[in-house]
Amino acid sequence: MKIAILQSNYIPWKGYFDIINMADEFILYDTVQFTKNDWRNRNKIKTHQGVNWITIPVKHSITQNINEIKVLNNKWRRKHWQTLKLNYSKAKYFNEYKHIFENLYLNSDETFLSKINYNFIDEINKILGIKTKITWSSEYELFGKQNETLINICKQAKATEYISGPAAKKYLNNNLFEKEIIKITWMNYSNYPTYNQLFPPFEHAVSILDLIFNEGENANKYLKNLK
pTM of the predicted model, to two decimals? 0.95
Strand partners, 136: 28
Residue 64 counted as domain residue: yes
Residue 16 counted as domain residue: yes
Q: What residue numbers bound the domain in which 141 lies?
A: 2-222
Q: Domain count for the chain, please give it.
A: 1
Within the chain, which residues score under 50 in pLDDT?
Answer: none
Residue 143 counted as domain residue: yes
Confidence (pLDDT) at 227: 52
Residue 227 counted as domain residue: no
Cβ-proximal residues to 224 (8 Å cutoff; 6+ apart), any chain: 18, 188, 192
Confidence (pLDDT) at 38: 94
Residue 90 counted as domain residue: yes
Residue 133 counted as domain residue: yes
Confidence (pLDDT) at 97: 98
Long-range contacts of 92-99 (CB under 8 A, 24+ apart): 92/196, 92/213, 92/214, 92/215, 92/216, 93/212, 93/213, 93/214, 93/215, 93/216, 93/217, 94/213, 96/216, 97/127, 97/212, 97/213, 97/216
User: Model confidence over 5-18: pLDDT tens digits?
Assistant: 999 999 999 999 99
Confidence (pLDDT) at 223: 94
Cβ-proximal residues to 4 (8 Å cutoff; 6+ apart), any chain: 19, 20, 22, 23, 25, 26, 27, 162, 163, 164
User: Model confidence over 66-110: pLDDT tens digits?
Assistant: 999 999 999 999 999 999 999 999 999 999 999 999 999 999 999
| Dist CA 225 CA 21 (whole Å) | 7
Residue (of 192, 225, 203, 211) closest to 51 by Cα position? 203
